[in-house]
Structure 1
C-alpha cells in the first residue's frame, strides 16, 4: 500500500478536466445572493497557517500553484483556479516535508502532547490530538464518524509503515493534501432566522480571519465559533474590534496591499545589470518590503488618512536601497527610518523604488507603464490594451539625438492615429514620474535634456513632482479605488447587484471617518453583505482516488 493510497482512503479528490476541486461544492447562477465560494489558498495564507498552528520554525519549502490575476487582483483569480495534476504533486510534496518535521523529536510533544513514551499513544490521546489538528487544518470540527475513520487509518498506517509517528505523519499529510485545506470553502447551514442558509460558525470565523489576518483564527475566535456566539452581532463586533487592534492585522493589510499594488511581480523583476548595476536581487526584495513597511507605518501604526501615502516624507531604508536613492544609510544590515528633506521633491508611494522600478522596463523607464499603473491600480480606471502590430521603435530608441526625452519620443509615437487616444489618456500621469529612471533613481535630465514633468490628469494641472504627488492625493478616485479593491479582495469576486450599493455606502463611511484604513477593514468585516451566502447548485462531481490524479507511486 502506497502513501498516496493510504491518504486516498481518507480524502475525497474530485477531478474536473484533470484538475482537483473541493468535494461537493458547486456553483450557482442567476441568484440575488451569491452562492458558496471555493478559492485556492494563497502561498502567504498557507505559510501563515502552518506558522500559526505549528510554529514559525516549520519550514515550508516548495513551489505553489500559480494564481492568475483577475481585475489586477490575485484574490479574484483564486476563485477561478483549480489545482493541476502537477500542482497537486507540489502540494503533496509540501505536505510530506511538513509532516516529517512535525513528528520529529523537536515537535512531537506539541503535535501529540499526551504521548506516554513507555506505553505509547493511547486511543484517547490519539483521538484528542487528531481532533485538535483536524479542527485547525480542515477549518471545522470533526464528526465522531470522521474521527473514527482517521484514527482507524492511522492505526493501519502505523502497522504498514512501522511506527506511530509514521501513522500520525500520514494523517497530517492527508489533511494538508485535502481539498478542505487547499481550498477556502464556504460551509453552510440552514439559517434559523429565515428560509435560506448562512455560513456555519466556523466558516464565518475563517472568512473573517483570512480577510483581517490572512491566516487561521486564534483560540479566542475559535471559541466563539465553537459556541456559535460569533453569529451574535454584539460578539462579532467585539471580535472584529479586537482583531483590527491586534498586531496580526499587519499580515492581513500586507496581503491586501501586496495584491492591490501587484508587488508579487517583484519576485521575477529583473533589470539590465550593465545599465543599473545597483539594482540587484537584494534591492528588489528590499524595494517590495519598503512599500509594505511604509504603508504599515502610515496606515496601521499612525492611522493616517489614506491620501497621506502619496505625500508623506517618511520612509524606511536599507543599504542597498540607499545606493539607489543616493542617501546615507548607517546600518550595513537591516532597516532604519528615513525622512526626505522638505525641499526634496520625493515623497510618498509614487517616489518609491517599489513603484517606479516595478513599472519600468529592464533597461529604461516607462511613462506608459507608470501611467497605466496610476490609472488602473490607484484610480481603478480602465485602460484599453495596445493595438496589435504597433511600431514601438521610436519609443524604445533612447539614444535618438532628435528625441532625447521620453516626452519627445512619445509625442512622436502619438502621430500614429491608432495610438494617440490611449496615450493621451495614459502618458501625462506617467510622464510626471520621468524624474525617475528605470530602477527608480532620481534624475533631472535625460540624455542632457531637462525633463518636463508638467501635465494634466482628469482636470488637475501639475508641473512639478510634488504637484503630481498632491494631485493623486487630492483625486477623488484614489480613496474610491481603495474601497473598491478592498471590497473585491474581501469577497474574492466581483460585486453584483445590491453589493454595488454596499460599496457606495462603504465609500461614504470611509470619507466620513477620515479615510482611515483600519476603519474600512472594520466596516467591511461588520457588514452583513460580507457573510451573505445563497443556495449552491450541485454539479454531480465524482470523487477519484489520489492515484488517478497523481499516478501510481
Structure 2
C-alpha cells in the first residue's frame, strides 16, 4: 500500500467553483421587485422591494467553513467521528460569531488542512469498499473513479459538478493511481477534494442572471439553510427538496427549516449560537490563577455542560426565547457544580439566586480576570452582546488603559470607581461599570460571596442608557429579570441571531436593518424566540437573494 504517493503529493489542483445558470424568478406569494442602489462593490447596494418595504440583500460572496462546520462536513462525507479542526488555529470572529466573511486560509491553516486531509484520506482506506466500490480495479479502475467522483465530489461541493470539475478530478485520480493502485488514486482524490475551494467554501454567488439582484441556486439555498441551522452539509431530504424546487418558495424553506431545527444537529447548532452570542463558548479555554481559584480547573467542564444542558432544556420545555434564556429561575447542574453553587440536588434544580445564563458560572468566569472579577468585562459584555450598545475601544480614543492599583484594603468596586473620576474615562464607564458592579456578589469563577475580604459586597446599581430597562437594581438577578422582558433586548437578540446566520461582519448594519423590518412584523410573542427569528430570515427574500457580484 502506498500511503505517501510521492509522484502526486505536491500536485493538488484547486477545483474552482462554477454554477449552472438558472432563471431568476420572484418568490411566490410575495410582492417582490428590485431596484439598483447607489452602493459600490459586490452587490452594488441594490435593494429589493418586499411587500412595500425597501430591503437590502446581502452581497454575493463566498465564505470559508468554520472549524465546527469543517468537522461536521468531513464527518458527514466520510462517516468518521474525527474532529480534526479542533487542532486548527482558532476561527476569526466578527460580532463574536465564528460564521463570518473574515475567515481566511493562511499558510498555517493551509498546512493544517493538508495534514487533516492526508490523515482523513488514509483513515478512510478501509472504507473504500463502501465509499468507492470497484469490482475490477485492474481494468475498470478509471470508470469506478469517475463514478466515485460523481457521487463523492457532488456531496463534498454541495452542488452539481461541472465538466471542468470532472476533468480535473479524474486527472488527479490518474496522478495518484499511476504506478500505484486504484486505492492510492482514490486516497489522493479524497485528499485533494478536502482541500479544494469547492469543499472549504460556501458559495452565495447566485445563478448568473442579469440585473442588480440574483437568486441563489437551489444547491446554494440548501447548503446555506443547512449550515445556518445544523452547522453541517445538507442531508438527503434537503438535497431532494432542492432538486424538487421546494426551496424556491418561503413555505418550502420554512418546512425544511423546522424539520432541521428538530434534529440533534439542529439542537447542537442552536446551543453553539447561544454560547457564541454571550461569549461563553470560550469557557473551555478559560484559565484561572490556581492560588486564587483552586476549584476552577475541576469545575470548568461542568460549567460548559451546564450551559449546554440549560439551553437544551429551554428549547425543549419553553418557547425558547430570550426571556427564557435570560430569565429562567432554574438551571441544570451536576453534583459538583451544585455544591459550588450551594444548590440542593442535581439535574434541573431551582436557582432563584442565579437567574438565567448571565448568572451561571460560564458567563461569570469567561468575563472575569484570572485572579479577580472584572466589572468592565462583564459590563461591556452586556452592553455589546445583550443591548447592542456600541462602546468605543479605549485605543480608538487614544486612551491608555491603566488598571486600578491593587489594594487589599479596598473592594473591587471601590478600586474600579476611579473611572468615574477620570474625565477621559467617565463618559464610557458611567455606562459600563454599573452593569458590571451588579455581578459583584459572584467572584471571578462565579461562586457567590457576601464579602470581599473584610468588606461587604455592594452590587446595587443604577443604569441610564435610554433603554426600557433603565433603572436601579439590587444585583444581577434583578437586572437579568429586567433584561429578560425588555423589548430593547428582544430587538438586540434578533439582530444578534441575524449576525450569527448572515455572517456579514463589521459592515452588516444595512442588512441587519432590513431584517429588523421583517422581524417587526412578527407577533410580539414570537419576536424573542430564537427559532422563529431564524425561520423568519430563512423564508424571506433576504435569504434567497443577493446583490449581483
The TM-score range, normalised by the shorter chain, is 0.7 to 0.9
C-alpha separation in 1, matches of 2:42 and 2:213: 15
Q: In the alignment, which residue of structure 2 is the partner of 1:205?
A: 222
Q: In the alignment, which residue of structure 1 is the partner of 2:412?
A: 406
1:432-452 alpha-carbon deviations (Å, 9 max, x no partner): 111100111011111122212
Q: In the alignment, which residue of structure 2 is the partner of 1:271?
A: 288
1:308-328 alpha-carbon deviations (Å, 9 max, x no partner): 222213322235434532446
The correspondence of residues 538-553 of structure 1 with structure 2, limited to 5 A, is none
C-alpha separation in 1, matches of 2:166 and 2:522: 46
Q: 1:273 to 1:427 in 2, by over 3 A?
A: same
Q: In the alignment, which residue of structure 2 is the partner of 1:182?
A: 200
> Where do 5+ consecutive residues of structure 2 fail to align?
1-5, 18-39, 47-56, 465-469
Q: 1:300 to 1:127 in 2, by over 3 A?
A: farther
> Where do 5+ consecutive residues of structure 1 fail to align?
14-25, 330-335, 537-553
Question: 1:350 Cα deviation (Å)?
Answer: 1.6
Deviates more, 1:41-50 or 1:179-188: 179-188
C-alpha separation in 2, matches of 1:251 and 1:522: 17
Confirm or deny that 1:337 pairs with 2:347: yes
Q: In the alignment, which residue of structure 1 is the partner of 2:135?
A: 116
Q: In the alignment, which residue of structure 2 is the partner of 1:236?
A: 253
Task: Give the counterpart of 2:76 among 47, 52, 57.
Answer: 52
Q: In the alignment, which residue of structure 2 is the partner of 1:482?
A: 493
The correspondence of residues 343-382 of structure 1 with structure 2, limited to 5 A, is 344-382=352-390
C-alpha separation in 2, matches of 1:496 and 1:378: 16
C-alpha separation in 1, matches of 2:407 and 2:7: 60
SS of match in other structure, 1:316: strand
CA contact (8 A) 1:65 1:83 kept: no
Q: 1:234 to 1:340 in 2, by over 3 A?
A: closer
Task: Give the counterpart of 2:480 among 457, 469, 473.
Answer: 469
Question: 1:220 Cα deviation (Å)?
Answer: 0.7
Question: 1:87 Cα deviation (Å)?
Answer: 1.8
C-alpha separation in 1, matches of 2:317 and 2:385: 24
Q: In the alignment, which residue of structure 2 is the partner of 1:549?
A: none
1:368-414 alpha-carbon deviations (Å, 9 max, x no partner): 111111111111111222363343233xx251x2x2x2222222442
Confirm or deny that 1:131 pairs with 2:150: yes
C-alpha separation in 2, matches of 1:377 and 1:306: 12
CA contact (8 A) 1:189 1:199 kept: yes
C-alpha separation in 1, matches of 2:245 and 2:70: 26
C-alpha separation in 2, matches of 1:108 and 1:183: 25
CA contact (8 A) 2:372 2:444 kept: yes
SS of match in other structure, 1:185: strand
Q: How high is the TM-score relative to the length of structure 2? A: 0.84
C-alpha separation in 2, matches of 1:197 and 1:413: 51
Q: In the alignment, which residue of structure 2 is the partner of 1:422?
A: 428
Q: 1:220 to 1:121 in 2, by over 3 A?
A: farther
Deviates more, 1:135-144 or 1:28-37: 28-37
Q: In the alignment, which residue of structure 2 is the partner of 1:80?
A: 102
RMSD (Å), alpha carbons: 2.7
How many aligned positions are there? 502
1:114-144 alpha-carbon deviations (Å, 9 max, x no partner): 3327868654433222211101111211134
Deviates more, 1:433-442 or 1:466-475: 466-475
1:175-222 alpha-carbon deviations (Å, 9 max, x no partner): 110112112222421459x88531111111101111111110000111
The correspondence of residues 146-545 of structure 1 with structure 2, limited to 5 A, is 146-160=165-179, 162-191=180-209, 196-280=213-297, 283-327=299-343, 337-341=347-351, 344-386=352-394, 388-394=399-405, 397-399=406-408, 401=409, 403=410, 405-458=411-464, 459-493=470-504, 494-495=507-508, 497=510, 500-509=513-522, 511-513=524-526, 515-536=528-549
Confirm or deny that 1:64 pairs with 2:81: no
Question: 1:51 Cα deviation (Å)?
Answer: 1.7
Task: Give the counterpart of 2:121 among 90, 93, 99.
Answer: 99
Deviates more, 1:239-248 or 1:45-54: 239-248
CA contact (8 A) 2:438 2:476 kept: yes
Q: 1:284 to 1:356 in 2, by over 3 A?
A: same
1:282-307 alpha-carbon deviations (Å, 9 max, x no partner): 53233233223212221355324321
CA contact (8 A) 1:462 1:471 kept: no
CA contact (8 A) 1:6 1:157 kept: no
C-alpha separation in 2, matches of 1:509 and 1:62: 38
Q: 1:435 to 1:507 in 2, by over 3 A?
A: farther
Q: In the alignment, which residue of structure 1 is the partner of 2:63?
A: 39
Q: 1:68 to 1:237 in 2, by over 3 A?
A: closer
Deviates more, 1:89-98 or 1:121-130: 121-130
